[in-house]
């Protein structure tokens, strides 16, 4: 009967398949050869099929054995995953790591840090949400996310603990096809009033923390967008000017698709630094996987 199959039999079956013989499998499993032969014979009896042809000097897997080996490996893999998860639960390891990231933070660093975390805690499932402005803090406050990466100083809350990570350089740019591009190429400095004559691409979000607030908006003409990638695309298209993270704009600047705006009203060299922080609720301590992610991110940043 199939119910009589044991995990030990499946492990012996896989070991013989990998080692190529009963003797080699016995050595690998630290057992006597007769115990391995007995386990395989019992498994064949319970399944009602021959797993190995024993007529030659070395056992040869039968077509039935080949077909069932994949099932055996799948079962063993799932059991090992279950065991690892159970061990993690016993140690307080999270089932999931819900992470919210500010749009200004380089997402490649997040991916690299998650890879390092997963190497130590493979049973933990990451969930990554990217939000602008007050979105990350709001996600921490409503407990939908356990860990956040925030940018800037505008959205502090006493319920949220923060730890500095790094700075993101923000640069004021315009598309090469925009009306201001000729002034930029000519090296002419732009005054705030001149910038105000053109559409500014502005990031917005749906969180109540930023409702009714503007940040570094100089022009009465705005195009408001809900995502940093959209802002980038609108500036590239020539719709207006705006600030972008240097890591996002760097290639376009190098290849001439974007130009820095020559103005002293948007930072020295049209560039300002924005501090980024790792954040979590004070009343929600970080678990082992979250701490591993934090350490990996700090090393990268």
User: Residues 188-241: pLDDT tens digits?
Assistant: 788 888 888 889 898 887 776 666 666 667 778 889 888 888 999 999 999 998
Query: Hey, what are 239's tokens?
Result: 């719709």
Per-residue model confidence as pLDDT tens digits over 96-130: 899 999 999 999 999 999 999 999 888 888 999 99
Q: How many CA atoms are closer than 13 Å to the CA of 108, on its beta-carbon side?
A: 2
Identify the structural domains of the chain with CATH numbers, from first to last.
2-90 (1.10.10.10), 167-275 (3.40.190.290)
- Tell me the C-alpha distance between 17 and 11, whole Å: 10
Q: How confident is the model at residue 1 (pLDDT cuts 50, 70, 90)?
A: very low
Query: Hey, what are 96's tokens?
Result: 């999931």
Q: Is 80 helix (H, G, I), strand (E, B) or coil?
A: helix
Note whether 5 and 67 are within 8 A (CB): no
- Tell me the C-alpha distance between 46 and 25, whole Å: 21
Per-residue model confidence as pLDDT tens digits over 153-192: 887 887 788 889 889 999 999 999 898 888 777 777 888 8
- Residue 181's alpha-carbon distances to 100, 160, 162, 233, in angstroms, are 36, 42, 40, 17
Per-residue model confidence as pLDDT tens digits over 23-79: 898 898 889 988 888 888 888 888 888 988 888 788 888 999 888 888 888 888 778
User: Is the predicted pLDDT of residue 18 greater than 90, yes or no?
Assistant: no
- Tell me the C-alpha distance between 132 and 134, whole Å: 6
């Amino acid at each position: 009967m199939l119910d009589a199959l044991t995990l030990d039999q499946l492990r012996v079956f896989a070991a013989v398949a990998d080692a190529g013989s009963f003797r080699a499998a016995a050595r690998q499993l630290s057992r006597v050869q007769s115990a391995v032969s007995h386990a395989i014979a019992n498994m064949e009896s319970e399944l009602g099929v021959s797993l190995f042809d024993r007529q030659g000097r070395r056992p040869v897997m039968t077509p039935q054995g080949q077909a069932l080996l994949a099932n055996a490996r799948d079962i063993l893999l799932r059991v090992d995953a279950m065991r690892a998860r159970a061990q993690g639960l016993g140690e307080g390891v999270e089932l999931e790591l819900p992470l919210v990231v500010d749009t200004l933070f380089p997402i490649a660093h997040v991916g690299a840090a998650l890879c390092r975390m997963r190497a130590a805690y493979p049973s933990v499932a990451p969930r990554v949400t990217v939000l602008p402005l007050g979105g990350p803090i709001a996600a921490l406050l409503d407990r939908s996310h356990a860990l956040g990466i925030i940018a800037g100083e505008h959205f502090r809350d006493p319920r949220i603990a923060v730890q500095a990570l790094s700075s993101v350089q923000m640069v004021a740019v315009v598309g090469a096809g925009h009306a201001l591009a000729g002034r930029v190429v000519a090296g002419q400095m732009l005054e705030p009033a001149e910038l105000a004559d053109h559409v500014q691409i502005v990031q917005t979000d749906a969180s109540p923390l930023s409702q009714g607030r503007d940040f570094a908006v100089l022009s009465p003409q705005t195009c408001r967008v809900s995502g940093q990638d959209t802002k980038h695309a609108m500036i590239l298209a020539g719709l207006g000017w705006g600030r972008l993270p240097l890591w996002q704009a760097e290639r376009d600047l190098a290849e001439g698709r974007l130009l820095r705006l020559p103005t002293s009203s948007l930072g020295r060299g049209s560039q300002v630094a924005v501090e980024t922080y790792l954040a979590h609720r004070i009343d929600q301590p970080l678990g082992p996987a979250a701490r591993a992610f934090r350490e990996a991110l700090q090393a990268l940043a």
